[in-house]
Amino acid sequence: MNTNLLLEAKELIATNSTPDYGTSEIVELIYKILQGMGATIKTQQFEVRGVQNHNVLAKFGPDFDGGLLLSSSIETVEPGDPYLWKITDYDPYNMVIKGDNIYGLGTSSGKLDWLCMVEAARSISNKKFRKPFYILATSGEHYGLVGAKTFTDSKIVKPRFGIVGGPTKLRINYSAKGYIGFNFMLKDTVGRDPKAGKSLFRLMVNGKPAHSSVPSLGENAIEKALRIISDNNRISDNIDIVSIYGGDHINKVPDRCSIDILGSLDTANKLSQKDIQIEQITRIIAGSSLNNLLNAVLYIYNSFRNAVSQLSPQSNPDFYPPEIVYNLGLVHMIADKLTVAFDVRLLPDNDHNILLRWLEKTIEEIGRLFTGIECEAELEFNAQPMMVSRTSDIITLSMNALRDINQEPVLTTAPFLSEALIYNQARIESIIFGSGSLEEGIYQPDEYNSLTRLNKAIEFYRAIIQKFCM
């Protein structure tokens, strides 16, 4: 990557584009980067949960249907505790280069995939193209692939093929697991006075963040916290939970969970374990015991895990990880409602309807088993697995482009949900490809990428544009 490209990368990494912040700021930078390339630029604006988001489409070449779409999300998840970002000097938005590695929030995910696509186009933008190609920056990915859906629903262009940025480590992903996200909202209509004691203390439970498609790379702080405060899948009788807050997104393994507990100091000492901080709180708080609510949460999650265990098959060697995986992403007590969200990554032959029926049954059971608990639930997202034939034209084209740059083509599968699913549903035959890696810190502090792989990605995008569009 040349000096100017690294400066653009630094600006992209420095610009906040998390889901709750939106893309109003970063879209201005995208326009600046695209200037002088001879592209026709169009913007789509939409709201995601009340936050302004944008797609930016840059078109090159002639005006007719077909052609090639290069697409990548410019959104990142929240960085978590900045004090854990040691290599970037405790600033996730500070890009740092050490040796062949480039560090910072978004380096291994969509932002730099998009920049590699742009650099490939920039190097040949003065050439004549037989077919059009498009570079699309999307947002809203983390709340149901909203940006990709907005693009395909608009039908403003009709590409034949698509390549979607993703952490594939320069491998061609032709298939991806299915995905369901569940969001429960619980409310206790009965005021329950705490009875366990008068000492108030806070448990801070630490875990390790990771992408929920590979939960084994992390440690779930919420699950850890629930194990500490429960006994035989019920909240211990000698404590009263008065507040709980853990996790920040459904598809991220949570690294923090805080619980405010009323009980004896002796109980607090017994709960003390490694990676758990206990702080006594002297202020008096008003509130009800959440034990009944959390017993309902334990019932829901254990029932869900049991339903998942009934699915068949339980593993598929074509995927990494090969098994069905799930993640308890957040538990938030805000005002008088407790929100619980978790997701599951399903294999191609798993029947999604089994879990949809489980959801309907569980909503009914909560009202019957837990007095005073009102339960609502919704699907965060329900996506079937993505599957592109290994003999499809886009895979053949991509494999030949990799050979042209002396990169051995490798076909593999993705454990994560991708916008490629939406494009394939819209009959844009699409694969997933990128320079980043799930193992190199996506959703973790000190996320990084390889400069060597980023340069190879630029060569690949340039080669495939030349092969198909020139």
207: pLDDT strictly greater than 90: yes
Domain boundary among 383, 400, 433: 383
The model's pLDDT over 79-116, given as tens digits with 9 standing for 90+, comes to 988 999 999 999 999 999 999 999 999 999 899 999 99
The model's pLDDT over 248-285, given as tens digits with 9 standing for 90+, comes to 999 999 999 999 888 777 777 777 665 677 776 655 55
Give yes or no: residues 457 and 440 share one domain. Answer: yes
Q: What does the pLDDT read at residue 405? A: 97
Give yes or no: residues 135 and 209 share one domain. Answer: no
The first and second tokens of residue 327, run together, are 């993640």
Domain boundary among 352, 383, 414: 383
Between residues 307 and 241, which one has the greater pLDDT?
307
Give yes or no: residues 115 and 198 share one domain. Answer: no
Q: What is the CATH number of the domain that holds 86?
A: 3.40.630.10
String of b and e for 60-97 (b: at least 16 CB within 10 Å)?
bbeeeeebbbbbbbbbbbbbbebeebebbeeebbbbbb
Dist CA 470 CA 120 (whole Å): 13
Report residue 380's pLDDT band, with 50, 70 and 90 as the boundaries. Answer: confident
Give yes or no: residues 200 and 297 share one domain. Answer: yes
**Domain boundaries, position 234:** 179-383
Percent of the chain with pLDDT over 90: 79
Sorted by sequence, the CB contacts under 8 Å of residue 112 that are 6+ apart come out as 9, 12, 102, 106, 435, 436, 449, 454
Domain boundary among 383, 412, 437: 383
Cα 350 from chain centroid? 22
Give yes or no: residues 374 and 318 share one domain. Answer: yes
Q: What does the pLDDT read at residue 263? A: 79
Distances (CA, A) of 14 to 97, 104, 126: 14, 9, 30
The model's pLDDT over 335-361, given as tens digits with 9 standing for 90+, comes to 789 999 999 999 999 999 999 999 999
- In degrees and rounded to multiples of 5, residue 353 shows phi and psi of -65, -25
Give yes or no: residues 347 and 401 share one domain. Answer: no
Report residue 198's pLDDT band, with 50, 70 and 90 as the boundaries. Answer: low
Host H or E run for residue 458: helix 451-469
Give yes or no: residues 379 and 337 share one domain. Answer: yes
Give yes or no: residues 337 and 193 share one domain. Answer: yes
Dist CA 444 CA 87 (whole Å): 12
| Own/partner pairs, 149-156, CB within 8 angstroms, 24+ separation | 149/422, 150/44, 150/46, 150/55, 151/44, 151/55, 151/57, 151/71, 152/422, 152/423, 152/425, 152/426, 152/428, 154/44, 156/42, 156/44, 156/57
Dist CA 318 CA 281 (whole Å): 51
CB distance 254 to 247 below 8 Å: yes
Q: What does the pLDDT read at residue 274? A: 55
CB distance 436 to 447 below 8 Å: no
Give yes or no: residues 458 and 406 share one domain. Answer: yes
Three-state secondary structure of 383-407: ECCEECCCCCHHHHHHHHHHHHCCC
The model's pLDDT over 113-164, given as tens digits with 9 standing for 90+, comes to 999 999 999 999 888 999 999 999 999 998 889 999 999 999 999 999 999 9
For 205-209, 269-273, 292-296, which range has the lowest pLDDT when averaged over its residues? 269-273
Give yes or no: residues 272 and 359 share one domain. Answer: yes
pLDDT mean over 51-77: 95
Instruction: In the chain, count H helices and then E strands.
Output: 11, 24
Average pLDDT, whole number, for the chain? 92
Q: What does the pLDDT read at residue 193? A: 76
Specify which residues 138 forms β-bridges with.
Answer: 73
Dist CA 301 CA 338 (whole Å): 14
Give yes or no: residues 281 and 336 share one domain. Answer: yes
Distances (CA, A) of 261 to 267, 319, 377: 10, 42, 27
Count of the separate structural domains present in the chain: 2
Q: What does the pLDDT read at residue 148? A: 97
Give yes or no: residues 90 and 152 share one domain. Answer: yes
Report residue 197's pLDDT band, with 50, 70 and 90 as the boundaries. Answer: low
192: pLDDT strictly greater than 80: no
323: pLDDT strictly greater than 60: yes
36: pLDDT strictly greater than 70: yes
289: pLDDT strictly greater than 90: no
442: pLDDT strictly greater than 70: yes
